[in-house]
Amino acid sequence: MAQLSLKNIGKSFDGTDVIRDISLDVEDGELVCLLGPSGSGKSTILRMAGGFETPDRGAILIDGQDVTRIPPEKRPTGMVFQSHALWSHMSVADNIAFGLKLRRMPRREIQEKVAGALELVGLADYGSRRVWQLSGGQQQRVAIARALVLEPKILLLDEPFASLDQHLREHLREELRDIQRRLGITTLFVTHGQDEALALADRIVVLQGGEIEQVASPDQMYRAPETRFVAGFIGSMNFLACDMRGGRSDHAVFQIEASVSDGPVELAIRPEAIVVTPSATSTARVHRTTDYGTHILVDIDLADGTRVKAMCPPATRLATGQPVSLSADRVTVFRGTEKLADVAPVEMREVAHV
């Protein structure tokens, strides 16, 4: 259907670079999530794609056509806003019909399309309601219907579910995913919730300070973070500082071998990559256990005072203060922001007294 390309986009506000130099291709029917901390420029990128901001540098192409200077009303994009931005002086049906009326569509056809759009988001009987008579979740669905009814080539969503509670958010997320798949609509989705990105996206773009840190599929993003920032930003991660000497780490617990030049490094280990076994001779002690039902999260104090999180199977029984030994089946080595090596599996050795 449609393809969106950002080519070397740059944007500054009042002299400060908000977007430095970003290039991104969203393929036909793909759902790409822009993920990043607050102020990283996610909304700015989305607004440039929608025509609400003009980039200072670079070009935006839709299906190969340059739309950089084209105003929003002439762009084949549809936007869903965080605050839903429904027009409160119109009924739900009028909100959805507004764009169709502008296109001078016959009335009969408009009615059919509006009914279809409401049906699509599960609000078939709500057309005559006023906007403020709907719940937050219903309002957000109307906003999605309003964007979809115009059959945009590109759908843009700026944290559409951020103001909803966890339960509703997950529910709407799944609905959106289904609709997007069914219509095969090319979508750019902004979120700062990593679970949302992991659940929705075909590809995730992690942004920081107006620059792309990494572009990858959700599983790659989680399992193979390319930068220190992504490693820390997606999921939870233990970072353990130590030195590499002669291809070995000098960490008291996690000694790994990697062909890495000598110097300080950080070992990044996922909680679920750590295996905890009770061991009377160990100096590492259980600080606290939290039972999440599906798994047990164990905080462990190492001898040097650092605290490590480990995810254990739900049957694990560990007492506070109990000495345990640790091993990791996957470790990533970072120096500064740069990834040096992936090490897996690692031969672990518990060293009780160093």
Partner 1 sequence: MTAIDPVTMARDSHVPTHKTKKTDWLGLGIVAVLGLVVVVPLVVVAIWAFAEVWRYPSLLPQEFGLRFWNATLARPDVWGAMFLSIRLSVTVTLLSAIICLPAAYAFARLDFPGRNVLFLSFLASHAFPKFGLLVAIAGIFLNLGLISTFWGVVLIQLVGTLMMMIWIPVAAFQNVDRAMEEAARDAGAGPLRVFWSVSLPQAAPTIFAAVLLSFVGTFYETEGAWLIGAPEIRTMPVLMITFINNQIVVQYGAVLSVLLWIPSFIALMFTRRLVGSASFAKGFGV
Ligand X SMILES: Nc1ncnc2c1ncn2[C@@H]1O[C@H](COP(=O)(O)OP(=O)(O)OP(=O)(O)O)[C@@H](O)[C@H]1O
The contact set with ligand X (CB under 6 A) reads 13-14, 18, 36, 38-44, 192
* Cα within 13 Å of Cα(285), Cβ side: 8
Find the shortest distance in angstroms from Cβ 216 to ligand X.
19
CB of 156 to Mg ion, least distance (A): 12
Position 268: which residue type? A
In the complex with ligand X, the residue whose CB is nearer, 38 or 294, is: 38
- Closest distance of CB 73 from partner 1, Å: 5
Least distance (Å) between residue 42 CB and Mg ion: 5
Count of residues making up the chain: 354
296-301 β-sheet, strand order? 285-291, 296-301, 307-312
Question: Inter-axis angle of helices 136-148 and 107-120, to 10 degrees?
Answer: 130
The item of ligand X, partner 1, Mg ion, none sharing an interface with residue 18, based on CB under 5 to 8 Å by kind, is ligand X
Sign of CA dihedral 86, 92, 95, 100: positive
Report the nearest approach of partner 1 to the CB of residue 75 (Å).
8
Please report, for residues 175, 248, 281, 311, the alpha-carbon distance to residue 325 in angstroms, rounded to integers and kept in the order given.
Answer: 44, 20, 8, 14
Query: Residue 112: what are its φ and ψ, rounded to 5°?
Result: -65, -45
Nearer to partner 1 by C-beta: 53 or 170? Answer: 53
98 binds, among Mg ion, partner 1, ligand X, none (CB under 5 to 8 A by kind): partner 1
Contact of residue 40 among partner 1, ligand X, Mg ion, none (CB under 5-8 Å per partner type): ligand X
| Residue that has been written with the tokens 């773009």 in this structure | 205
Of 150 and 303, nearer to partner 1 (C-beta) is 150
Task: Name the residue among 214, 336, 213 with its Cα closest to residue 265.
Answer: 336
- Chain centre to alpha carbon of residue 228: 16
10 Å Cβ neighbour count for 181? Answer: 11
Which entry of ligand X, partner 1, Mg ion, none binds 251, CB below 5 to 8 A by partner kind?
A: none
Residue closer to partner 1 by CB (options 4, 276) is 4
Binding site for Mg ion (CB under 5 A): 43
In the complex with Mg ion, the residue whose CB is nearer, 43 or 208, is: 43
Which residues, including other chains, have CB under 8 Å from residue 68's CB and lie 6 or more apart?
54, 55, 58, 59, 60
> CA nearest 346: which of 286, 267, 285?
267
CB of 43 to Mg ion, least distance (A): 3
Helix axes 166-183, 136-148, angle to 10 degrees: 20
Q: Which residues in this chain contact partner 1 in the complex, by CB under 8 A? A: 50-52, 71-74, 77-79, 81-83, 85-89, 98-99, 102-103, 143, 146-147, 150
Q: At what angle do helices 92-102 and 107-120 cross, to 10 degrees?
A: 130
Q: Which is nearer to Mg ion, 207 or 242 (CB)?
A: 207
Shortest distance, position 43 Cβ to ligand X, whole Å: 3
Residue showing the smallest CB distance to ligand X in the complex = 43
Closest separation between CB of residue 99 and partner 1, Å?
3
The encoded tokens of residue 278 equal 């009770």
Residue 239: name its binding partner from partner 1, Mg ion, ligand X, none (Cβ under 5 to 8 Å by kind): none
**What's the closest the beta carbon of residue 98 comes to partner 1, in angstroms?**
5
CA–CA separation, 268 and 246 (whole Å) = 19
Closest to Mg ion by CB, 191 or 289: 191
| Peptide bond connecting 345 to the previous residue in cis, omega within 30 degrees of 0 | yes
The site partner of 271 among partner 1, Mg ion, ligand X, none (C-beta below 5 to 8 Å per kind) is none
Which of 99, 210 has the CB closer to Mg ion?
210
- 309 close to 296: Cβ distance less than 8 angstroms: no
39 binds, among ligand X, Mg ion, partner 1, none (CB under 5 to 8 A by kind): ligand X
Comparison of 43 and 140: residue with beta carbon closer to ligand X: 43
